[in-house]
Each structure stands twice: as C-alpha cells, then as structure tokens.
Amino acid sequence: MSNIIDGKSVAEKVLAECGQEIEDLKNQGIIPGLAVVLVGDDPASKVYVGSKVRKCAELGLHSRKIELPSNATHQQVLDVVNELNADPKIHGILVQSPPPPQIDEDAIVRAIDPAKDVDGFHPENVAKLALEDSSGFVPCTPAGCMRLLKEAGVETSGAEAVVIGRSMIVGKPMALLLMSKEGNATVTVAHSRTKDLAEVCRRADIIVAAIGRPEFVTADMVKDGAAVIDVGINRVEDASAKRGYRLVGDVAYDEVAPKCSAITPVPGGVGPMTIAMLISNTIKAARQSQTS
C-alpha cells in the first residue's frame, strides 16, 4: 500500500533548481555565500559540516568553514559571528549545533543578522513564519518535510495532522507550516505529556514524528492510509551490523509502512532534504540582499 518517499531524489530535484538559480545570480554578478562555524570536535557535527561544504563546492557557492577549538569562549564565537555579519560576500551563517556547554547557543542565534539566518532560528524569522511573511527563513528540516509531502502528492488542505514533538527546530515550525494558508491542515502538536497519544495519532491523516525516540510510533498508532514523515534519526546497537549499530527513525518502519499511503524511510527520507533547503535558503538570502 505504501508509497515510499525517496528523500534523496527529491533533494536532488531541489538542488538542481538551486543550481539554475545560482547560475542566474552569477549572471548578475552575485555569488551566494554560506559560512559554517564549527566549535569543537563532535564527530557527527564534523560530518554534517563537511557534507554542507562539499555541496556548496559542487554547486559553485562561495563557502567558508570556520573551525574553533572545543575550549573556545562564548566571546570568540560571538566575534566570528559579528565578522560574518559584516562580510558582504557571506549571505548565510550557520553555527553548527550543539556547541560546547560554555557557549550560550540562544545568544549566538540572536547575534546572527536575521537576514543571514538561513537556519531560520532567529526570533525575527520565527515571528515571520508565524505571521506568514515570506521574506523570512523557514527552518530547513520542516521546510524539507513540506516539500516531501508536496512531491509525494499528499494533500494537506483539510487534512488532520499530528506533529509529535514541540522543539523549535522541527515541531513548532512544522505545525506553523501545516496550519499556514499554504498547508491548510488542522494541526495537533503532541508531546510527552499528551494523554492517550496513540488515540490522538490514530485520528491523523498526516503524522510527523520528531520526538527523538527510536521506533516510538508503532502500527497501532497509525490509521490505514495515513502519510507518515519520520524526522528522527537514532543509533540503535546491533551486534550483527558492520559498525555495531544501525540507524532507525522515530517510526517502527517495517510494521508501519504497510498501513501508509506514503512514508519516509530512515535513512534516505528527511535527512537529504535538510542540506538542500539550507542551500535554497542561502540563495534566497543572496537575492534579498540585493533589495535590502
């Protein structure tokens, strides 16, 4: 029954569109620029930053990777952000999360020029999302989820949607997008204190799982024909796996997929979309910098 939503192919489509936009901007003498700041030596963060920088190079974007030691002070990170805010060649700034504990991440986000906040986490961009002001930047993962629903032909208008998770990174912006005039869905945001979560989920035409708990959503929580977007990516120990672990989402894929009209796998679903939407946001920032 299920239509497996191939995030990799949709991301390639988005990046192809980005490539054309980059060429158009270059013809106008504009090269979109993205700066990625990495504090510390977290292995997963290094992988993410490396993939972002490589994608920029492939597409012909100007990119800067700034690496600071794990003992960098909050002021040092702030100084880097302020320097990038003032650099006209940089249109997008991303400080890789999570930073070491001595860094006040919220203060760093607030220090980024909202016009360069391609992560969409600055309070000004959060407000613009709530106000449906298209000049703001939408967080990359929720924006990618909306694109996946669209590409899969999932009708959001009039649908009942349940978002599991209420983070500022995914849950809250996802709910705002689904209930916007573009999404037109009726949205419930569920979380750890939701009573009878399974019953709430069973009402949903669309489930977005972003709770960070491996295989949390099981078949008994999903009605027949629902569309499921699995944002989670969790390592689960598995002695039979080559690396000693396997990656799973927040949805028990094998048991849920047969009930769904559409579902994203993990890996290969939402993950590839995040970098694609980051590049898209950077291009948008470069365009808007010419009119500001």
Q: How many CB atoms lie within 10 A of CB 292?
A: 7
The one-letter amino acid code at 139 reads P
Query: How far is residue 98's CA from residue 95's CA, in Å, rounded to a whole number?
Result: 9
In 3D space, the residue among 72, 88, 2 whose CA is nearest the CA of residue 37 turns out to be 72
Q: How many CB atoms lie within 10 A of CB 42?
A: 17
Q: Is 103 annotated as a binding residue?
A: no
8 Å CB contact between 272 and 48: no
- 70-101 in b/e form (b: 16+ CB < 10 A) is eebebeebeebbeebeeeeebbbbbbbeebbe
Q: Is 19 annotated as a binding residue?
A: no
In 3D space, the residue among 130, 99, 124 whose CA is nearest the CA of residue 112 turns out to be 124
Catalytic member of 116, 117, 119, 250:
119
In 3D space, the residue among 223, 214, 209, 208 whose CA is nearest the CA of residue 258 turns out to be 223
Query: How far is residue 244's CA from residue 239's CA, in Å, rounded to a whole number?
Result: 5
The one-letter amino acid code at 237 reads E
Q: Is 165 annotated as a binding residue?
A: yes
Q: Is 52 a catalytic residue?
A: yes
Instruction: Look up residue 217 and give its DSSP letter.
Output: B
Identify the residue whose tokens are 């983070």: 167
Catalytic member of 96, 128, 172, 205:
96
Q: Is 243 annotated as a binding residue?
A: no
Q: Is 76 a catalytic residue?
A: no
Q: Is 116 a catalytic residue?
A: no
8 Å CB contact between 171 and 231: no
Query: How far is residue 289's CA from residue 32's CA, in Å, rounded to a whole number?
Result: 10
Catalytic member of 52, 55, 259, 284:
52
Annotated binding site for NADP(+): 165-167, 233
Q: Which residues are documented as binding site?
A: 165-167, 233
Give the residue numbers marked as catalytic: 52, 96, 119
